[in-house]
Amino acid sequence: MPPGPRHTLSPAELATWEAFLRAHASIMRRLEQDLAAHDLTLSDYDVLVQLVQAPDRRLRPVELSRAVLLTRSGITRLVAGLERHGLVERIPAPGDRRGQLVTLTAAGLERIRAAGRTHGRGIRELFADRLDAGELERLRATLERLPADPAGSPAPATGGDLGGGAPGPG
Amino acid sequence: MPPGPRHTLSPAELATWEAFLRAHASIMRRLEQDLAAHDLTLSDYDVLVQLVQAPDRRLRPVELSRAVLLTRSGITRLVAGLERHGLVERIPAPGDRRGQLVTLTAAGLERIRAAGRTHGRGIRELFADRLDAGELERLRATLERLPADPAGSPAPATGGDLGGGAPGPG
DNA sequence: CGGAGATCGTTGCGCGCGCAACGGAGTCCT
DNA sequence: AGGACTCCGTTGCGCGCGCAACGATCTCCG
């Protein structure tokens, strides 16, 4: 009974898969701890990064939810927290009375810059600096053959709010 | 001002890092959905797998917490859920009146076998089958150069319960 | 033996987040 | 104009999980 699609993972496959999980878990935990020193979660960080990169440093919540791995409701509450801490402000969106614009404050800019240095250093220590140029490039090529879908199944154009959902990679 | 340790991530580094995050997020979401069809979370699955592999298919909760990415309190509640669904039983641990043994029931065994097929197929589709043997081996070698620490900083032998914590990779 | 300290499982609390549903507002089509 | 969809941000609810603290128990050592 030669090859054909197996129904078990080979030891090599299993070992690689486990190394993948292990590496991700360890790195993320460390990065999370690092950001905690700046009083930020990883999601906070992602959102603030989107804001610094945005034109005029302002974005609609729904755009944030598309750019980051969070639903609209998650964004609502996260932004509320950032606002309480004075890192962002919410102003009514010009030309759309439903929505608002989330804008980065000076304090927010300072915070994300400081956190960004920490975060960048962490990624280098835990990830980038451990791989040489060739390894890095091969890793990228390999990873890009794995799934990178933004969300679950696409949405049929049904009724109300239903839809493919917000969470896409960050 | 030639090389020296930079303070920014190069575009190549950033792209690889992002591919890493993206791949992990997409794959995990899919695997989670697959397991939901068996009414299990990823943590449920991990715990059940530990049990099938254990001698006599029974383990102490504290051993589960060491084997899996969960604290003792997480294990308590997760096992309570599994017990409610009849997948495990808890019996007093012989020789240690503090603790118990979590044992897999027939239903639990059946469930983990079915879920295991689904899960294995998912990992193959999303991960293993997308890489050829050489790629897989190189990926494993690369990933094993990244952190794989079980927990945060090691614990000084202080007082009471404090300690490096339970969560180790799963 | 007895006491100090460590370990086990549990529990109260809080956080982060998704899902579903809502009212208000925009858009499109007749 | 007006009705039907669609989209926006918010909110109530529930889940999963860590942290810290507790009582019960085990262990080690004088």
Task: For strand D, give the nucleotides within 7 A of a protein CB.
Answer: 5-12, 15-27
To the nearest whole Å, the CA of B94 is away from the closest chain A CA by 33
Q: At B8, list the tokens.
A: 């920014």
| Whole-number pLDDT of residue A71 | 97
Comparing A7-11, A131-135, B27-31, B78-82, the range with the smallest average pLDDT is: A7-11
Q: Is residue A146 part of a domain?
A: no
- Mutate which of B69, B146, B153 to disrupt the A interface (most A C-beta within 10 Å)? B146
CA-to-C1' distance for A159 and C29, Å? 17
**What integer is the mean pLDDT of A51-75?**
97
Q: Is residue A117 part of a domain?
A: yes
| Whole-number pLDDT of residue A149 | 75
A13/B124 CB distance under 8 A:
yes
| Whole-number pLDDT of residue A161 | 81
| Whole-number pLDDT of residue A163 | 64
CA-to-C1' distance for B96 and C1, Å? 21
Quick check: B63 pLDDT over 50?
Answer: yes
| Whole-number pLDDT of residue A148 | 87
Q: What is the pLDDT of residues B8-19, one digit of tens each?
A: 899 999 999 999
Domain count, chain B: 1
| Whole-number pLDDT of residue B165 | 61
Which residues fall within 8 angstroms of residue B123, CB to CB, at 6 or more apart? A9, A13, A17, B31
| Whole-number pLDDT of residue B148 | 87
Q: What is the pLDDT of residues B89-127, one digit of tens each?
A: 999 999 999 999 999 999 999 999 999 999 999 999 999
**What integer is the mean pLDDT of B28-33?**
95
Q: Is residue A13 part of a domain?
A: no
Q: Is residue A162 part of a domain?
A: no
**What integer is the mean pLDDT of A63-67?**
97
> What confidence category does residue A45 fall into, taking pLDDT thresholds of 50, 70 and 90?
very high
| Whole-number pLDDT of residue B7 | 72
**What integer is the mean pLDDT of A68-82?**
97
Q: Is residue A6 part of a domain?
A: no
Q: At B166, list the tokens.
A: 């339970």
| CATH number of the domain bearing residue A83 | 1.10.10.10
Option in B146, B152, B167 nearest A27 (CB): B146
Q: Are A111 and A40 in contact (CB under 8 A)?
A: yes
Residues of A in contact with B25 (CB under 8 A): 69, 169-170
Quick check: A126 pLDDT over 50?
Answer: yes
| Whole-number pLDDT of residue A155 | 40
Which segments within B72-121 are labelled E, that is strand?
88-92, 100-104
To the nearest whole Å, the CA of B145 is away from the closest chain A CA by 7
**What integer is the mean pLDDT of A39-58?**
98
Q: Is the CB of B167 under 7 A from strand D?
A: yes
Q: Which residues 100-129 of chain A have a CB under 7 Å from nucleic chain D? A: 100
Angle, helix B133-143 to helix A11-36, in steps of 10 degrees: 30
Q: What is the pLDDT of residues A78-109, one digit of tens each?
A: 999 999 999 999 999 999 999 999 999 999 99
CA-to-C1' distance for A65 and D12, Å? 21
Q: Is residue B161 part of a domain?
A: no
Structural domain harbouring B50: 23-129
Q: Is residue B42 part of a domain?
A: yes
Which residues fall within 8 angstroms of residue A61, CB to CB, at 6 or more apart? A72, A75, A76, A79, A99, A100, A102
Q: Are B83 and B77 in contact (CB under 8 A)?
A: no
pLDDT higher for A163 or B2?
Answer: A163
Bridge partner residues of B100 (DSSP): B92
Q: Are A14 and B124 in contact (CB under 8 A)?
A: no
Quick check: A129 pLDDT over 50?
Answer: yes
Q: What is the DSSP string of A82-133?
A: HHHTTSEEEEEPTT-TT-EEEEE-HHHHHHHHHHHHHHHHHHHHHTGGGS-H
Residue located via tokens 């799963």: B170
Closest residue (CA to C1') to nucleotide C23 in the complex: A98
Q: Is residue A77 part of a domain?
A: yes
What is the average pLDDT value for chain B, to the nearest integer? 90
